[in-house]
Chains A and B, each alone.
Chain A
Amino acid sequence: MAERPRRWAERPLARLVQVRILEFLREPEAIFWTFLFPVLMTAGLGIAFRSRPESPSKIAVLAAAPAAAETVKRLEGNPLVAAALMDDSAAARALRTGKIALVVVPRTDDNLEYRFDDTRPDGAAARRIVDDALQRRAGRADPILVSETRIQERGSRYIDFVVPGLLGMNLLGSGIWGIGFSVVDARRKRLLKRLVATPMPKAAYLASFIISRLALLVLEAGLLIAFGMLAFGVPMRGSVGTLLLVCLLGSLAFGGLGLLVAARPRTIEGASGLMNLAMVPMWVFSGVFFSSTRFPQVIQPFVQALPLTAVNDALRATMLEGATLAQVTPELAIVAAWMVGTFAIALRIFRWQ
């Protein structure tokens, strides 16, 4: 048992990191929520909001009206409108429930009434389309000749917007849940106290959570970005290095936040409350599913100071606009400030027993 220089793999930090990763990999649920769920969510959102040519507006023509059949015939062949005959009550119900956008009531050959909800965009659009079609069939001549060129730009679709947002949200979730629950669980089981009774360096224990998170981050972020690129053609215009740096700093900041929420609670329930307190405002304000600029000007300073807002903005700038490292530096500065602040407080107030 002579003292000998120990191999790297036998040192406390390496063992602790190994243990963290093994514990994670042996928890099938954690693997699902960390890796598969974001991909499924991306797939779902990508399909729901896929870009496609507009489908024809569904409208009704009142069957009892004098020129009903003729009106339907006039709209046939127009790709923008699908017209059907309906009686008064059926048409009213269909309009109310959103199944049709417009009801046409032809009173005579040259006298029409449109019934629609002008607060619904599809109602106003249907009114314009149907009116144009009927007026032209009745002989209206448009004095200006128009041609159309249709452009669909990668990077401006909803899926392009939402993939970086989901990535940011995922980094936040795995930082807070991954670290928070493990720490509180170890405290609850008195394992933390047992470890403190050994010569284990405390810093190594905390660092092991961060390092194992970073190791899993590469998988987690890589999988989501690769899926977005391959399945939906989400662009990757900036450098991969900048993107990795944003993910890395983001993960460290969220890891610090995870340590902070886990610094005191003795029960999982207590920790859950703090985790929600930390995460829910960011889910709402930080521009995951819609742009954070939609919030009123007065709360923008708060919104912009949130770490997830900064991470999401930096991820979008890098992926969609090809921003350079210099261009995302302001966001990275905010993230770094959160990282330093949360670690400093967490270490100071951490309860080891």
Chain B
Amino acid sequence: MPFPALSLHGLRKAYGDVIAVDDLDLEVLPGECFGLLGPNGAGKTTTIEICEGLTPPDAGEVLVLGERWGRGSSHLRERLGVSLQETQFSEKLTVTETLELFRSFYRKPRPLEDVLASVQLGEKRNGRVGQLSGGQKQRLALACALVADPELFFLDEPTTGLDPQSRRQLWDLIDGVKRAGRTVVITTHYMEEAERLCDRVAIVDHGKVIALGTPRHLIAALGAQHFIEFSIGEEQPSLTDADLLRLDGALSIRRQEDSYLLESAQAHRTIPALLVLLGARGLQLARLRTHSATLEDVFVHLTGRTLRDG
């Protein structure tokens, strides 16, 4: 077992009566992309800011790259790349001036050109930060974390509020960081983001880890793997539940207005069986959609709430 890049033990933090982090344990391995997942207010940001040495915990042990935070931890900061939630950089400076400022803080900064190229801001190098789009600003924030060429990245909600295209661009950037063998700790409340990026995730709710594992395992643990959603044209005789539950692999059936939601353990067997059934009855398929169970389904299953409920 390799030495963990980050290890949290019995972490607690309260703000007045509000317990933000409640006895939290975590280990992140080197080279891993680890996701902290949960609704707003779950304690993700408090946890990550404790890891970044910005907020002292009330109790518990924090080991970052094997070290504790304390006086004179600036050498530890040399090894970390941080992107905070909602940092606004000075709007009157250019991209280059902002990056040069951050480069000056590190003993061994990456060359400016490399950083600009890796976040695709080369064309905007002389543009004022105030003129950048939301996606470009987030890429600049990531670039400020990249200038140090750090071993460990903490990215707090890096894609919140971005349009889908900007979000995908940022995912590609984070993929690049992962390929370079760096460790990434990312918080998000987007399940698809966690599934796309993370090797392992911890689902956090009310300051506690309520599930931990690879996205695939967490989903598999739900039992159900797939959902088949279909509807048949109007004015056709309807199907009975019994008809559908007899299909190969079918687990349960739910009716939603004009469509059916069929839960299946083995979609590759259930779908052909469904088509055969429809053919035999002479029914026409109006719509057919399948989706795999997602981390969202896992969260709903564990908490009874959706993530957007907060």
Contacts and interface: CB of A to CB of B under 8 A. Distances in A.
Contact of A12 (B87, B105, B108, B148): B105
Specify the main secondary structure of chain B where it touches its partner. Answer: loop
B101 interface: yes
Contacts of A3: 107-108
Nearest to B144: A194
B86 interface: yes
B18 to A, nearest CB: 17
A193 interface: yes
B116 interface: no
Interface stretch (A21-29, A85-93, A255-263, A286-294): A21-29
B87 A189 contact: yes
A199 B106 contact: yes
B87 to A, nearest CB: 5
B52 interface: yes
Given A22-B93, A23-B92, A199-B74, A191 B101 contact: no
B82 A26 contact: no
A352 B108 CA distance: 25
Interface residues of A, number: 29
Contact of B104 (A10, A186, A196): A10
A1 B108 contact: yes
B54 A197 contact: yes
Interface in B62-104: 74-75, 77-78, 80, 82, 84-90, 92-93, 97, 100-104
Contacts of A194: 82, 84, 87, 144
A194 B82 CA distance: 8
Which of A22, A26, A199, A353 has its CB near the most chain B CB atoms (within 10 A)? Answer: A199
B88 A191 contact: yes
Contacts of B148: 198
20 contacts: A10-B100, A10-B103, A19-B97, A19-B101, A22-B93, A22-B97, A186-B90, A190-B84, A190-B85, A190-B86, A191-B89, A191-B90, A194-B82, A194-B87, A195-B105, A197-B52, A197-B80, A197-B84, A198-B102, A199-B107
Interface of A: 1, 3, 6, 10-12, 14-16, 18-19, 22-23, 26-27, 186, 189-191, 193-201, 353
Q: Which 9 pairs across A and B sit closest by C-beta, in order of nearness?
A: A189-B88, A15-B104, A199-B74, A197-B82, A199-B77, A26-B92, A198-B105, A200-B105, A194-B87
